[in-house]
């Protein structure tokens, strides 16, 4: 089967609720742009070649905050990943160096060392050199949302994604958009929040900190190993994520580009855009934390072009 862009590891705690609620109209302009970015994402990994997943069984219902979950997957989600490609691709190798820079629990003050700030700068430099982010920059400049000066655009990305803020009251600066979305956090020792990245998922699973419990999907959207999108359930450091979402196989710059665009095109606290990308229809949700990014995730609505076939009836 041809690889499909349905790679949205749909790892989001809100995924199954509100599927039939009123949705925004299809944003054709962003759909066109995001498909262009998809084609430009040369650092994307290919299922069956660069990685292999085993979706196994359907996960059961688990309430938020519960630590008791039935395991419907006896094997890891990722049976193999081309780590050589991860380590030799500049953006992904620099991305992985950032993953151990953060305190897992909210409420614990983050302290950014000089070495860690250098790692952030090197990562952003690599991202800005990709065709994905060059096209993103051009689009945002055309919309008056970013400066044409590359140094100012880098500073803007740094502010949106890496500026620290308080996620929990009466604490120090304990979180940032990058940590929440790409690394994952725990709250009050009872729940997993954020954690929407497939590379972090793979690395945590490989090191036995994470246990995949099974997929979450509707009857007509059963996943397979070629999908670039997966709804799933997992435990991490003995806490459970009932349902989550993330892209699988895509590059860090692709995910950062999409969410940055959605963040900047609207000033509302919460923004949801409906887009078609390759064979998938999804909502991209971005929630602000003041001037910074609070969370961002994809919410898969249909895969395998089912939304196109339904529209044609």
CA distance 234 to 239: 8
List beta partners, residue 239: 236
Query: Is 66 in contact with 240 (CB distance < 8 Å)?
Result: yes
Provide the token pair at 49.
């070649």
Q: How many CB atoms lie within 10 A of CB 179?
A: 25
Provide the token pair at 311.
């529209």
CA distance 8 to 4: 10
As annotated, the active-site residues are 180, 196, 241
Sheet holding 210-215, edge to edge: 8-10, 239-247, 232-236, 210-215
Provide the token pair at 195.
């954690």
């Amino acid at each position: 089967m041809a690889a499909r862009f349905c790679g949205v590891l749909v790892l989001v705690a809100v995924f199954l609720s509100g599927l039939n609620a009123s949705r925004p109209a299809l944003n054709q302009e962003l759909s066109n742009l995001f498909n262009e970015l998809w084609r430009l994402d040369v650092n994307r990994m290919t299922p069956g070649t660069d990685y292999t997943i085993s979706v196994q069984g359907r996960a059961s219902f688990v309430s938020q905050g519960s630590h008791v979950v039935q395991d419907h997957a006896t094997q890891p989600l990722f049976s193999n990943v081309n780590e050589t490609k991860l380590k030799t691709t500049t953006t992904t190798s620099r991305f992985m160096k950032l993953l151990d820079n953060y305190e897992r629990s909210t409420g614990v003050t983050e302290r950014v060392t000089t070495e860690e700030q250098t790692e952030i700068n090197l990562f952003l430099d690599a991202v800005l050199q990709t065709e994905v982010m060059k096209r993103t920059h051009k689009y945002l400049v055309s919309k008056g949302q970013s400066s044409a000066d590359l140094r100012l655009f880098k500073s803007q990305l740094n502010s949106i994604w890496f500026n620290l803020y308080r996620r929990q009251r009466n604490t120090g600066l304990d979180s940032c958009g990058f940590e929440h979305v790409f690394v994952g956090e725990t709250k009050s020792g009872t729940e997993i929040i954020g954690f929407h990245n497939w590379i972090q998922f793979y690395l945590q699973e490989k090191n036995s900190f994470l246990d995949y419990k099974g997929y979450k999907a509707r009857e007509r959207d059963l996943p397979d190993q070629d999908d670039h999108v997966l709804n799933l359930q997992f435990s991490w450091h003995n806490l459970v994520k009932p349902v989550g979402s993330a892209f699988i196989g895509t590059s860090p710059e692709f995910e950062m580009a999409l969410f940055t665009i959605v963040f900047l095109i609207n000033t509302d606290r919460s923004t949801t855009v409906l887009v078609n990308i390759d064979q998938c229809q999804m909502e991209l949700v971005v929630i602000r934390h003041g001037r910074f990014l609070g969370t961002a995730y994809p919410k898969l609505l249909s895969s395998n072009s089912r939304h196109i076939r339904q529209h044609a009836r």
